Amino acid sequence: MQPRKVFLSVLLIIVLILSPTTLTLAADSTLTEVRSLLEGGYVDPVPDEVLNAATVEQMLDRLGDPHTMYFNAQEYQDFINSMDNRFSGIGIHIDIVPEGVLILSVIGGSPAESAGLKAGDIIVQGAGRSLAGLGAEEAVSILRGPEGSQVDLQVKRGTVTLHYTVTRKNIEEPTVQGELVDGHIGYIELNSFGSTTAADFGAVLNNLRAQNADSWIVDVRDNPGGYLSAAIDLAGYLIGRETVVNIKYRNNESETYQATDHGSALNQPVFFLTNENSASASEILSAAVKDHQKAVLIGTGTYGKGTVQSMFPLSDGGVLKMTVARFYSPLGKEINHVGVAPDLNLISAVNAKEVAELLITSMSNSDGFLRYTLGTKTYNISLAQVRSEKYWQAWGSVLDSLENPGLLQIGGAQGWSTVAAHELEARWLLYYPGYHELNALTDIPLDKKFTVHFRGHINWKTVNTESIELIESASGQRVPVEFEPLGDSDVKVVPTESLQPGVSYLLVIHPEIEDSNGVKMQEGALAVANTAK
């Protein structure tokens, strides 16, 4: 599966492809045609100041709608191809950073891979132009180009500057990708809503069903949208033949769209992943599953693009993409400039997939030590899982989002107690409840060696990297350590690599350690250790 990414394309929108005869064009002049289309079909009445502009460019600039634009023939074809993840370029997934274009991942078999570009590289120049400070659309236009053409790149890799000449080629990626996670979770990533997305989703869904998937994660993070028809068709797999979206036009006319009937809809747990780049058709689908209570949404609020565009061919061979309507959720909720709010609103959606996996696993855990309430559902969280490196940050994301400590309880088969505010603040208590807190260590040197004293003789066979751990408290990463016995009751814990400045660590002593008579410790212990900055 690909990591999270921003595709090499401008923000896509919902498109209703209309017939060229939908509106009668007033004249052959492109300016007159665009004026007539705006006057007769734009979602809101258009002021004379806009309509009387001297050029199409000036007219659209005065209109101030970033989703209404003019395409020449090639730009229009590129736009249509982008919805199906087809483009001619170097083959990378990107994010925009102040220095230029950050490569998040390199597409397998692409020109970028052949040239030696890597994830983490920052392209600072392309075709002799600085990419610093450019928006995604302008940066993409520099990196893309006709198949067979070349682009010279200046790339920053750490402290080294490298130069590449990359030959562009046509690249096509699937808009739907899926995999089985942990032997039973069907993970489906939707990258856009293209012409075959709904059918491809059905095929991936059936393939994962055949592998006995019993719960689902649908990922629309960074999905910029696409065809309305694709969202309506795909929604049927999730909500059945229910209302997907309500669309309202300029003349107050409205249309309600029902999802395509695929014979049955998923009746197993579904989690949707969203972020601030989930736009348009992604928002329609997310709002539909939320309104119909068919999925739990996890991540951050969506983009908030609640308008519909149609395509109008022009006599010069170009196309006007024009906003003609606004759309609303099945329950009539506003989406434009508002977005769709997740049920679990994380500060960042980076760990949303792991959060969903954590909640899915908890549903089969009847005696967990942490009970988390989200809406009308409760989840019994496994301590072993949240302590693992894979889920450490995901659990931290949940705790960061927890405004009400009362939504979290500590306990198990013997009963439950509500988490207090100080327990939530002292984060480690919700990874290691019941452990005894030792004196905190501050401003420790980066070559610190820790001495642990036990009351009584210990069985050295029980001292190992599972019974005593040094953990970076933010990431959960384990620091490799070695142990040096100091008599019968003391041990020196020696990190085998330097600690990092200004970082908080947890020295955790688990109750699995035994004394010389084979008796285990009554409780675990933990010390917070902060390095000097």
Q: Which residues are catalytic?
A: 280, 291, 305
What is d(CA 10, CA 69) in angstroms, rounded to the nearest whole number? Answer: 12
Asked whether 491 and 463 are in contact (CB, 8 A), the reply is yes
Asked whether 95 and 7 are in contact (CB, 8 A), the reply is no
Which of the 8 DSSP states describes residue 227?
B
Q: Which residues contact 144 (CB under 8 A, 6 or more apart)?
A: 8, 78, 87, 88, 89, 168
Asked whether 157 and 47 are in contact (CB, 8 A), the reply is no
CA dihedral 317, 194, 338, 302 (to 10 degrees): -140
Q: Which residues contact 297 (CB under 8 A, 6 or more apart)?
A: 271, 272, 273, 274, 286, 289, 290, 340, 341, 342, 343, 344
Q: How many CB atoms lie within 10 A of CB 283?
A: 30
Residue 92 backbone phi and psi in degrees, to 5: -135, 160
What is d(CA 169, CA 150) in angstroms, rounded to the nearest whole number? Answer: 9
What are 127's two structure tokens?
A: 């075709």
Asked whether 462 and 519 are in contact (CB, 8 A), the reply is no
Q: Which residues contact 158 (CB under 8 A, 6 or more apart)?
A: none
Asked whether 50 and 262 are in contact (CB, 8 A), the reply is no
The DSSP bridge partners found for residue 319 are 71, 313
| Amino acid at site 176 | V
**What's the half-sphere exposure (Cβ side, CA atoms, 13 Å) at 96?**
17
Instruction: With residue 202 as reference, give the H or E element that holds it.
Output: helix 197-210
Q: Which residues contact 398 (CB under 8 A, 6 or more apart)?
A: 344, 346, 355, 358, 372
Handedness of CA 463, 466, 470, 473 (dihedral sign): negative
User: With DSSP H G I counted as helix, E B as strand and the rest as coil, what are the percentages for the chain, rounded to 5?
Assistant: 25, 35, 45
Strands of the 415-418 sheet, one edge to the other: 377-381, 370-374, 408-412, 415-418
